[in-house]
């Protein structure tokens, strides 16, 4: 098996994330991109060697300025390239954050900031599987277990504050944003 390399933060990401890479059998495998010049960011790998993350689409670089237009991707050795998972209807950006050995992918779609699960070629809003009278809005699914149970972060629109996270990890970009919000407000976001 191999590992993946990729992070987005203040110093790394955007145009510094030109290549998503996998270290395998003592060598580097370039995972490619979805056509863009930046934000080629792997986030997770499963035991079958399938990798998920997010990558800009073509048209992200104009006159030296990068405009984020990333979509969630899955990379498989069989395909030998990144496959665009798209976004939830009405959204323009998405991030795949984890994959289990059943090839179920979870993440978040923007600007709705809704958690999703992608399986069998279909991206589904996880808010569609909670009771319609629930006061919660599922914002992000950051990991998924072998038992097919996503860890989620939710918010109560009436209270305006996120519930306690049930996730084990999140995207580096999101963690940085949460740290800055915690610092500015003196408490959790």
What are the tens digits of pLDDT across the range 12-39?
456 556 667 788 888 888 899 999 988 8
The ranges assigned to domains in the chain are 2-185
The b-or-e profile of 49-59 (16+ CB within 10 A means b, else e) is bbbbbbbbbee
> What pTM, to 2 d.p., does this model score?
0.74
Which position has the higher pLDDT, 16 or 57? 57
- DSSP class of residue 157 equals T
Q: Using CB atoms within 10 Å of the CB of residue 39, give its burial: 0 to 12 exposed, 13 to 18 middle, 19+ buried.
A: buried
* pLDDT at residue number 116: 97
Between the alpha carbon of residue 121 and those of residues 12, 53, 74, 169, the distances in Å are 31, 16, 11, 25
Which segments within 111-168 are labelled E, that is strand? 114-119, 122-125, 137-144, 150-156, 161-162
Q: What pLDDT score does 148 carry?
A: 59
As a whole number, mean pLDDT of residues 64-68 equals 87
Between residues 88 and 175, the one the model is more confident about: 88
User: How confident is the model at residue 182, as a pLDDT?
Assistant: 30
Q: Is the pLDDT of residue 81 over 70?
A: yes
> Which of the pair, 188 or 124, is modelled with greater confidence?
124
**pLDDT tens digits for 129-180?**
999 999 999 998 999 987 656 655 555 555 444 444 433 333 444 433 333 3
Mean pLDDT of the chain: 77
């Amino acid at each position: 098996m191999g590992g993946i390399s990729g992070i987005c933060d203040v110093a790394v990401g955007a145009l510094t994330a030109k290549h998503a890479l996998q270290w395998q059998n003592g060598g580097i495998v370039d995972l490619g991109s979805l056509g863009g010049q930046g934000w080629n960011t792997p986030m997770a790998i499963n035991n079958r060697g399938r990798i998920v993350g997010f990558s800009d689409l073509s048209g992200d670089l104009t006159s030296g300025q990068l405009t984020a237009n990333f979509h969630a991707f899955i990379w498989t050795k069989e395909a030998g390239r990144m496959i665009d998972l798209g976004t939830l209807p009405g959204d323009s950006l998405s991030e795949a954050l984890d994959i289990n050995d059943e090839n179920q992918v979870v993440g978040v779609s923007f600007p709705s900031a809704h958690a999703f699960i992608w399986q069998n070629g279909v991206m589904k809003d996880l808010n569609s599987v909670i009771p319609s009278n629930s006061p919660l809005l599922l914002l992000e699914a950051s990991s998924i277990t072998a038992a097919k149970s996503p860890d989620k972060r939710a918010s109560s629109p009436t209270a305006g504050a996120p519930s306690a996270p049930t996730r084990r990890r999140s995207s580096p970009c999101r963690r940085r944003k949460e740290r800055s919000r915690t610092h500015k407000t003196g408490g959790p976001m």
